[in-house]
Amino acid sequence: MIQRISEISGLNLRVSPFNHSGLLRAVNVTTDQIGAKVKRPGYGTYLGGLGTQIQTLFNWTLGNGTQFWNYAYAGGTLHYSTQGTGAWTVCGNGTFTGGSHIGYAVLNDVLIAGDGIGSTRHTSDGTNFTDTTLAPASEQFEEYQGRIWAAGTASYGFYSTVGTVSDWSTDSSSILIPDAGKNNLVFKVADRLNFGKTSGLQYRWDGYSLVDLSTNLSYTSPYSMAEVEGYKIGLNRLGFYGNGGAKSEALSNAIQKQIFNSANNGIAGSVFNTAPGVVYKYDYLCAVGTTSDDLTYGTVANCIEKYNIQLNEWLNWSFANSPTAFLNYKDENGDEQLVWGDGAGQCYKLSGTGLSDNGVPISTEIMGFYDGGSLEEKKWDMVRMVFSPRCQAHVQLALTSALDFQNLNWIDLEPEKSGLLEYHFKGNSRSRFMVYRVYESSMETRWALYTIEYHFDPILHE
């Protein structure tokens, strides 16, 4: 029998291993044409270092569509970069109380920001901030129905006077977000305002009434939230989920074993409250630290869970410099850029042509499992793989009749310069399953795996 797989799917640790094209491991790869798995691009530094952990990154573009600033909050101080290329400069009145993050919103070309501890502040010129008299201390802001809304430090949601970020007295008041927990999130989706609480409760406000949207899938990390086409994605202790305006829906069944599992080696508990996320070119990225699973027990250090929204596909990325905050912005040419900061105070920018992580080789790996469509024992004759020419990928094959991915006897191979790998099995080539592994770590090329073809004969037992 001959069977070919040309659409290599992403991670599927929940349904696999009996899913012919789902991967058990997929680190630092992305999906390209015809379902190929390709080594991800690298990155380099972005602007100068700030000397302490980057806690928040955000962008503000004026209504004229041409003038913008990128902001970095680190060590209690807010810095700006004019047009995303100017050096980091401390904002006027930009030293905050020292909250862990900065939140912001924009109304009528005025930006309001706060750390949830000290004075809330606003700016109209992008570089100098003024204390916003009577505004509540808040880390979470959203514009809704011509007002700025702020999630207070307890259970009240406050709103400004219509049309202004600076007047919190003339036509300003608050609403109580009921029941357990305090507010930790306010966001807008489907032209409705949503409040999240530390207890996991979630309510929707339409300007007149509150609707309880609480499920087991409420956000735990407000910093993990990101949006694409009006659809919000974020993290909680049961996984990643999306919200398009109604109750939330689970998105991450395929990688559940990396989030929580029976071996307790998934995402660390403290990460669920602070993990940063971003959407970049229809990819949702969320940095979750080191994680593993209880199927392959393969550990991913500095793991970034990557969800391709168009393909409904999960992969793992791992940056040499683990992100503590993300930024997605459009530069002066309108091109989308991905920037992140790390614990040492340096920011980095993804490069479409980069071959290293700021001078560190990118370690890539995929591992797949194949059962030939049955649990029958098989005599394996040959495997063909088609790679990009002159790639430096290494290949391992293993035959096994047990789901023991930690004790496999690997056969080591390398593709030809043309990109073709063809291996004919010798001797005793009988087993129920085959496992393949592709790995590479270099600063030379970006390999791509396009298709896999298996030649085998089932062994029918009487």
Contact present, 447 and 392 (Cβ < 8 Å): yes
Domain ranges (residues) in the chain: 2-41+364-459, 46-264+324-355
Q: How far is CA 223 from CA 103, 232, 363, 439, in A?
A: 10, 12, 27, 32
- Chain centroid offset of residue 142 CA: 22
pLDDT tens sequence across 180-192: 989 999 999 999 9
N residues, the chain: 462
Instruction: Confirm if 234 and 240 have CB atoms less than 8 A apart.
Output: yes
Closest CA to 58 of 392, 328, 330: 328
Pairing of strands 347-350, 336-341: antiparallel
d(CA 40, CA 316): 11
- pLDDT confidence of residue 48: 97
Domain 2-41+364-459 has CATH 3.30.70.260: no
Give the C-alpha separation, 27 to 293, whole Å.
14
Q: What radius of gyration, in Å, describes the C-alpha atoms of the chain?
A: 25
CA pair distance 46, 392, nearest whole angstrom: 29
Assigned CATH for 46-264+324-355: 2.130.10.10
At residue 310, the 3 state secondary structure works out as coil
Low-confidence ranges of the chain (pLDDT < 70): 15-21, 215-217, 461-462
Which are the contacts of 36, defined by CB distance < 8 A and separation ≥ 6? 8, 448, 449, 450
pLDDT, position 345? 98
Nearest to 338 by CA among 347, 346, 328: 328
pLDDT given at position 248: 81
- Measured CA to CA, the distance from residue 295 to residue 353 in angstroms comes to 34
- The span from the CA of 68 to the CA of 91, in Å, is 14
Structure-token pair, residue 257: 């074993």
Judge whether 2-41+364-459 and 46-264+324-355 match in fold. no
Give the span between the Cα atoms of 437 and 447, in whole angstroms. Answer: 14
Tell me the pLDDT tens digit for each residue of 8-41: 889 988 766 666 567 999 999 999 877 799 999 9
- Could you count the other beta carbons within 10 Å of the beta carbon of residue 310? 10
Strand runs labelled E in 9-161: 23-27, 29-31, 37-39, 43-46, 54-61, 68-74, 77-82, 89-95, 103-107, 110-114, 121-123, 130-131, 140-144, 147-151, 156-159
Residue 199: its pLDDT value, please?
A: 84
DSSP code of 385?
Answer: E
